[in-house]
Amino acid sequence: MSAAVQGSSGRHLLLLLSAVSLLALGVALFAIGISFLASYHLDHLSFASALFAITPALIVVSGFLTVVVACYGVVLWRRRHHEMSRRLRAFACVLVLAVALSLVASVASFLLREVIANHFSAVDVQAQIIRYKVNDFFRNRWDILQGSYGCCGGHENGYKDYANDEGVITEVPDSCCKVVTPGCGQVWRI
């Protein structure tokens, strides 16, 4: 009887350690995903690849699901019922789902790295710039990107991407200015 009680205590301790470890991992994943979205504005780069929006979202969802699994593990640990086999099976199923989602997020991260390394330079920036001039969605996207990254225009031509059909730059977006004030890009002269 003593060995059975010891084994049960060992399983409960393992459950608690697993739950606490998962909680830390889930919070870290959630924070990383949110920082990718908030600090780097990766979702605004979705014109280059949908992976820029999908990958951080997968990381956030994976982190959230891992936190939920960890909290469920802590609840199971606190209950200490002898008949927990169904609850432990549910815990294991949700844990497998969280791990699978984390693996998908990891694969998406590596695919995103490949997109950045090999395909990002093939983006048709001129088509985006043309849309900037007539579409609020594209204007907002590029203003956020240019303001966040401290750049102007695309990856090769920079501010020259805003030249008119004759190749003359009469103005650039205000988000290109080092100190952004309304109309600062209109006084642009070369």
Higher pLDDT, 54 or 87: 54
Mean pLDDT of the chain: 83
Residue 143, C-beta contacts closer than 8 angstroms, at least 6 positions apart: 173, 174, 175
pTM: 0.71
Q: In this predicted structure, what is the pLDDT of residue 190?
A: 46
Question: How far apart (Å, rounded) are the C-alpha atoms in residues 48 and 118?
Answer: 11
Q: In this predicted structure, what is the pLDDT of residue 143?
A: 92
Q: What is the mean pLDDT of residues 106-120?
A: 86
pLDDT score of 83 more than 60: no
Q: What is the mean pLDDT of residues 18-28?
A: 90
pLDDT score of 109 more than 80: yes
CATH class for the region spanning 124-187: mainly alpha
Distance of CA 45 to the CA centre of its chain: 11
Q: What is the mean pLDDT of residues 114-121?
A: 82
Q: In this predicted structure, what is the pLDDT of residue 60?
A: 93
HSE on the CB side for 60, CA within 13 Å? 12
Spell 150-168 as b/e; 16+ CB within 10 A means b.
Answer: eebbbeeeebebbbeeeee
Question: How far apart (Å, rounded) are the C-alpha atoms in residues 171 and 152?
Answer: 12
Domain ranges of the chain: 2-121, 124-187
Q: In the chain, what percentage of residues exceed pLDDT 90?
A: 20
Confidence of residue 1 (pLDDT cuts 50, 70, 90): very low
Confidence of residue 187 (pLDDT cuts 50, 70, 90): low
